Amino acid sequence: MTTSDPVIQIDIISDIMCPWCIVGFRQLEQALGVTNMGARILWHPFELNPTMPPEGQNLGEHIAEKYGTTPEQSVQNRAQMQKTGQSLGIDFQLTPDSRIVNSFAAHQMLDFALSQGLQHPLKLALFSAHFTDQRDVSDAEVLVDVAASVGLDRDAATKVLEDGALVDSVREKQQFWTSRGVSGVPSMVFDSKYLVTGAQGAENYAQLLQRVAQEQAA
């Protein structure tokens, strides 16, 4: 990218528990590479399961309860997701023992990281911690470890979770997007104008990026 290439604001509403969120982001990355465009990416909080208890739940059981998926379908879905991930450089380590956990504390840590200019690397590190390393990203010690790995101050990160100083901030941001009709993730807003939901594929993202760039140049 050169200084003359367009830079587009992209707001991504997502949950760390959502595999399609990291899939959609990697597809967006491909589109940015193909179109030779830059992006200012800002991540926003969304909870797929806000009532998830602290101990979490077996992922297969959760999907079965929520969508009526059979064990056989779960096996097929895991295999398909892993195949999709491989094509995008994502190592989904999905097993019958995989768990889904409450992500609210992780969203607080991401809000803290935003204030420190490290939100994007932390978001990607949390995706990897959850989907590849099978770490419990609802656990405060795990969150602080991951935060420290991208350069956040360990003591400050610990204090954020202990004090709950960003609870209201995260709730307000969640409400902002749900009040604007966001009910599923990933949802991406391009140039504060165009909202698209779901992992749309690199080609579709590229077309939208080009449309926005043309409008900016007009």
Q: Is the sign of the CA dihedral 160, 162, 163, 169 positive or negative?
A: positive
Residue 4's pLDDT band (cuts 50, 70, 90): low
Range in 29-43, 53-67, 114-128, 130-144 with the lowest mean pLDDT: 53-67
Domain boundaries defined on the chain: 7-56+102-217, 57-100
Contact 15/185 with Cβ under 8 angstroms? yes
Q: In what order do the strands lie in the sheet with 187-190?
A: 38-45, 7-14, 187-190, 194-197
Nearest to 47 by CA among 198, 178, 168: 178
For the residues 162-170, what does the mean pLDDT come to? 98
- C-alpha of 188 from chain center: 11
SS3 for the chain, per residue? Answer: CCCCCCEEEEEEEECCCCHHHHHHHHHHHHHHHHHCCEEEEEEEECCCCCCCCCCCEEHHHHHHHHHCCCHHHHHHHHHHHHHHHHHCCCCCCCCCCCEECCCHHHHHHHHHHHHCCCHHHHHHHHHHHHHCCCCCCCCHHHHHHHHHHCCCCHHHHHHHHHHCCCHHHHHHHHHHHHCCCCCCCCEEEECCCEEEECCCCHHHHHHHHHHHHHHHHC
pTM of the model: 0.95
The residues facing 217 across adjacent strands are: none
For 93, the token pair is 């380590």
CATH number for the domain formed by residue range(s) 7-56+102-217: 3.40.30.10
Range in 49-58, 108-117, 143-152 with the lowest mean pLDDT: 49-58
For the residues 158-187, what does the mean pLDDT come to? 97
Mutual angle of helices 71-87 and 59-67, in 10-degree steps: 110
Residue 110 neighbours by CB distance under 10 Å: 26
Please give the pLDDT value at position 52.
Answer: 94
